[in-house]
Structure 1
Amino acid sequence: MTVLKPAQAPPLRGFRPRVRLGGSRAGVVLLPLLGMVVVVTGWWLATSVFELIHPVVLPPPQDVYTAFQPRVVRLLEHTLVTTTSTVVGFVLSSVAGILMGLVLAGSQVVERMFSPLLVAVNAVPKIVIAPLLVVALGWGQRPILTMVFLLCFFPIVLSTVTGLTSTPADLAELARSLDASRWQAFRKVRLPAALPQIFVGLKVAMPLAATGAVLGEFFASDKDGLGFFIVQTSGMGNTAATWAAVVLVAAMSILLYFGVVLVERLFLPWVRETTSAR
């Protein structure tokens, strides 16, 4: 008796398995480093090789590094102060913004009353308010934290309201079919469904928090912070040291942003499993 074997497809010539570097653990580290190398190389070419930008405006990267070396301890101290202001202001605005979002999402009357006011406050350029904060609150941390709060508050409120008012219809219908109370539906359905959108607002707000801290230090700090250091060195014409502080602000913002991303992945692992998120 002859046994028939299934036909085997001929091997594809020249086929190689596709490697997704961006989705691997190595790609998470290597690709950002590669991007930094590309940016620094372009910076060096524009300032040192082709001399497209005057060094007073943008010094070459080697000059910035030279200015950074003798001031490393001082710059790190300023970075710690700015990072503390950024994180504290971000946490305060996150708590207040999420609570305000809960109130607005829970009452259509309240939402219609106060949404225009929130939009108006957010539309006012914060650099206009900064000197007034110094007059009202004095020098130090209070006006700086207030500036961080003002920049972060609106996107967190908006993302919270959007998340809580866009619960999938099938989940809302499921809660009603199970005769869940309003609190049970909120805790088991609406809030979990809104968390991805809330984290979108938090990720938008974190870089704004760094911006607010530096902007507040421009006006309200008299001795500490990267914003104070930038004002001090730029006033003396030392643009290389100024750009060293700017680079530290950028590095701080990147680390804090990915800190929020890490918290999201730890607390919401199901988002990556149930959506097309990478």
Structure 2
Amino acid sequence: MPKGTIQNRLLPAITFIILIILWELVTKVADLPVWLLPAPSDIVKSLVGRNDMFMHTWVTFYETILGFLLAILIGVPLAVLVNSSPLISNTIYPLILITQSIPKVAFAPILLIWVGYGIVPKIIIAFLVAFFPVVIDTATGLNSPSPELINLARQLNASKIQIYTKIRFPSALPHFFSGLKVAITLSVIGAVIGEFVGSDVGLGYIVIMATSQFKTPLSFAAMLLLALMGIVLFFVIALIEKLSIPWYGRGE
């Protein structure tokens, strides 16, 4: 492994460890109450004996993945429609912007009225949050091939399907994966927003419940698990990207 690569990986880890040590020292030296700012050791202790945390983590993970997959299943075909016709693009884009501009926290209570409690509103919120980057980045990628290349393909009697499968889709992959990496982290946020509004299970519920009872270490622990979930999912998408388009970024 190149020396520069090792340094690039060690530096963030060392910085993180130093910050954790400083956090621990500040809370102990300043004698801050646990309910105000818990030390990292207090956060770890809050997880000891809580066998239900795996279940809460799994529920949030499940909601996140379903919302993310739904964003792909709907977002990619919609991006193709947007790219295929200026008329469709001018019609759909304003609607997409409107849905993105609506605060999801404000929309979540309405979903509870429409579909009730349970997992469905959380999945919908995760989908709505992740939907925008998938559509926009995929549409941008589909539009990235040069007009000269598209005209050349047409002069060679390539069909519209062939232009998409041979030119537009391969060119769109880097943009597509960039959108996915943003969308997967936003899906975690969307699932938690849904749990904040109405839920009795999930890491978002743990944060609300623990905060209301001044169990700040447990609240921090739930947020730590959410952060780890987002990081792991991000790197899973990055790994899939590397395996799918190994040629991309080699010159960087």
Same fold (TM over 0.5): yes
Give the deviation of 1:179 after TM superposition.
3.0
The equivalences for 1:120-199 within 5 A come to: 120-169=98-147, 171-199=149-177
d(CA) in 1 for partners of 2:154, 2:14: 51
d(CA) in 1 for partners of 2:53, 2:146: 48
Max Rg structure = 1
Structure 1's 54 and 182: CA in aligned 2 closer, same or farther, altered over 3 A?
same
The equivalences for 1:1-278 within 5 A come to: 20-22=3-5, 24=6, 28=9, 30-49=10-29, 55-71=34-50, 73-169=51-147, 171-222=149-200, 224-273=201-250, 275-276=251-252
Aligned CA RMSD, in angstroms, stands at 2.0
Q: How many residues are paired up?
A: 251
d(CA) in 1 for partners of 2:25, 2:75: 44
Amino acid at match of 1:243: F
Give the deviation of 1:220 after TM superposition.
2.7
d(CA) in 1 for partners of 2:216, 2:224: 12
More divergent stretch after superposition (39-48 vs 234-243): 39-48
Unaligned residue ranges in structure 1 (runs of 5+): 1-18
d(CA) in 2 for partners of 1:180, 1:162: 22
d(CA) in 2 for partners of 1:33, 1:196: 27
CA displacement 1:157-196 (0-9 Å, x = unmatched): 1001111112134543542453322211110011100110
Name 1:13's counterpart in structure 2.
none
Give the deviation of 1:127 after TM superposition.
0.5
Give the deviation of 1:27 after TM superposition.
5.5
User: Which of 1 and 2 has higher RCO (CA within 8 Å, sep 6+)?
Assistant: 2
Amino acid at match of 2:216: T
Q: Is the 8 A contact 1:143 1:220 kept in 2?
A: no
SS of equivalent residue, structure 1 residue 270: coil
Amino acid at match of 1:41: I
d(CA) in 1 for partners of 2:159, 2:168: 12
Give the deviation of 1:235 after TM superposition.
1.1
d(CA) in 2 for partners of 1:98, 1:39: 40
d(CA) in 2 for partners of 1:167, 1:54: 58
Name 1:16's counterpart in structure 2.
none
Q: Which runs of 4+ in 1 moved over 6 A?
A: none
Structure 1's 54 and 99: CA in aligned 2 closer, same or farther, altered over 3 A?
farther
d(CA) in 1 for partners of 2:219, 2:81: 43
Unaligned residue ranges in structure 2 (runs of 5+): none
Structure 1's 236 and 117: CA in aligned 2 closer, same or farther, altered over 3 A?
same
Structure 1's 111 and 44: CA in aligned 2 closer, same or farther, altered over 3 A?
same
